[in-house]
Amino acid sequence: MTYAPDRAAIRIQISVLTAYITHPTCHQHDMGSHHPECPQRLDAINDQLIGDGLDAFVQHHRAPSVTREQLERVHARHYIDEIEAASPTSGIHYVDPDTALNPYSLTAARHAAGAAVLATDLVIGGDCSSAFCAVRPPGHHAMRERAMGFCLFNNVAVGVAHALNAHGLARAAVVDFDVHHGNGTEDIFAGDPRVVMVGTFQYPLYPYSGVEPLGSNMHNVPLSPGSGSDAFREAMTQRCLPALEAHRPEIIFISAGFDAHREDPLANLMLADRDYAWVTAQIGAVAARHARGRIVSSLEGGYALTALGRSAAAHVRVLIDS
């Protein structure tokens, strides 16, 4: 007789509907000991999920590598060639003042983008209703032809293009609540009527874009430094969520950056853990009305390790409960 819990039985009883997708190489991508976009970010999230007891309530998946065809839907061939050629056999090679590759980075970037593809397949196939991709390098600054801001391939954009082109969905949406404007995703989808992107970001702040949207399908809401939870929730409620609702997306992607948190060292938008739970619930409500609950969330920023862990766990908890 034992009182040890039968984890398999628990999983069956609660019908796990949220996928958690990552890959070991995402931990081996390392741009140097002082770089804020560090491997320990993934440990912080994973440890917090275990600490909060959420680990048993997600379906764990290993991210596949993205294919060349999947990447070419959002990046120029010559750009992919350049990133592949920049991959070093030793040491660190910078492709941008903030962005570098070590010998594992190219493989990590391929799996980070592949995670979004698998997540898209899982939620459209009905295996899960939502998915969180705990991956790095992040993606939302990666433009069609340019790496920047710690990003090599635009993971969320690869997922969106996969939903539209491989699965034939008519409408997709991206919600980007990272503290930095998602200029790469905007560059890729501006003017594409199938895609609506909504998001808040601190301005002025890197990459100093977004105030003038590049297309009518871009709903960018700059927020002043120090503006805090109320301003964030008002921007979401008044500007972002109505635009999201009006598009009636069949799937919603989240560029899940947690660097608008008040503890983050790279910005000061002053959000709290509970704001991430709140915004996730709001997005979940739109997804339930239009997208059969389908949400694919992919990690972007978040550099205060404990705040990152708590905020990501709050986000995943709401995905599980949705």
Give the nearest distance from C-beta 178 to Zn ion in angstroms.
4
Site string for Zn ion, 76-115 (x = CB under 5 A): ----------------------------------------
184 binds Zn ion (CB under 5 A): no
Among 261, 301, 312, 318, binds Zn ion (CB under 5 A): 301
Closest CA to 184 of 160, 165, 167: 160
Residue 179 C-beta: closest distance to Zn ion, Å:
5
DSSP 237: I
Out of 121, 178, 273, 275, the residue judged to bind Zn ion by CB under 5 A:
178
141 noted as active-site residue: yes
Supply the minimum distance, in Å, between the C-beta of residue 188 and Zn ion.
Answer: 17
Inter-residue contact 321 to 52 (CB < 8 Å):
no
Stretch that binds Zn ion, among 34-42, 177-185, 195-203, 281-289 (CB under 5 A): 177-185
Closer to Zn ion by CB, 178 or 250: give it.
178
What is 194-232 written as a DSSP string? TEEEEEEEESS-TT---SS-SSTTEEEEEE-TT-HHHHH
Residue 137-176 contact track with Zn ion, rule CB under 5 A, x = bound: ----------------------------------------
Of 89-97, 204-212, 254-262, 270-278, the window that binds Zn ion (rule: CB under 5 A) is 254-262
Q: Does 257 bind Zn ion (CB under 5 A)?
A: yes
259 is a site residue for Zn ion (CB under 5 A) = yes
The answer to whether the CB of 295 falls within 8 A of the CB of 254 is: yes
DSSP 247-281: H--SSEEEEE--TTBTT-TT----B-HHHHHHHHH
**Amino acid symbol at 300:** E
Asked whether 217 and 189 are in contact (CB, 8 A), the reply is yes
Query: Which residue lies nearer to Zn ion by CB, 64 or 207?
Result: 207
**Smallest distance from the beta carbon of 150 to Zn ion, in angstroms?**
8
Residue 55 DSSP class: G
- As a whole number of angstroms, the distance between CA 231 and CA 190 comes to 26
Nearer to Zn ion by Cβ, of 207 and 242: the residue is: 207
Q: Report phi then psi at 280, rounded to 5.
A: -65, -40
Residues 6 or more apart whose Cβ sits within 8 Å of residue 158: 66, 70, 71, 73, 74, 113, 116, 117, 139
> Tokens representing 225?
């430094």
- Residue number with CB closer to Zn ion (137 or 301): 301
Residue facing Zn ion at closest CB distance? 301
Return the number of the residue (269 or 291) whose C-beta is nearest Zn ion.
Answer: 269
Question: N- to C-terminal Cα distance for the chain?
Answer: 36
Of 54 and 270, the one with the shorter C-beta distance to Zn ion is 270
CB of residue 201 vs Zn ion: minimum separation in angstroms?
A: 8
Q: Which of the stretches 36-44, 241-249, 290-298, 301-309 binds Zn ion when contact is defined by CB under 5 A? A: 301-309
* 92-113 burial code (b ≥16 CB/10 A, e <16): ebebeebbbbbbbbbbbbbbbb
Applying CB under 5 A, which of residues 110, 111, 180, 194 lies at the interface with Zn ion?
180
Cβ proximity to Zn ion: between 259 and 275 the closer is: 259
Q: Report the alpha-carbon distance of residue 156 to residue 18 in Å, rounded.
A: 17
Which residues, listed in sequence order, are joined to residue 59 by a DSSP beta bridge?
Answer: 19
Determine which one of 23, 61, 140, 141 is catalytic: 141
Annotated catalytic residues are 141
Residues contributing to the site for Zn ion (CB under 5 A): 178, 180, 257, 259, 301
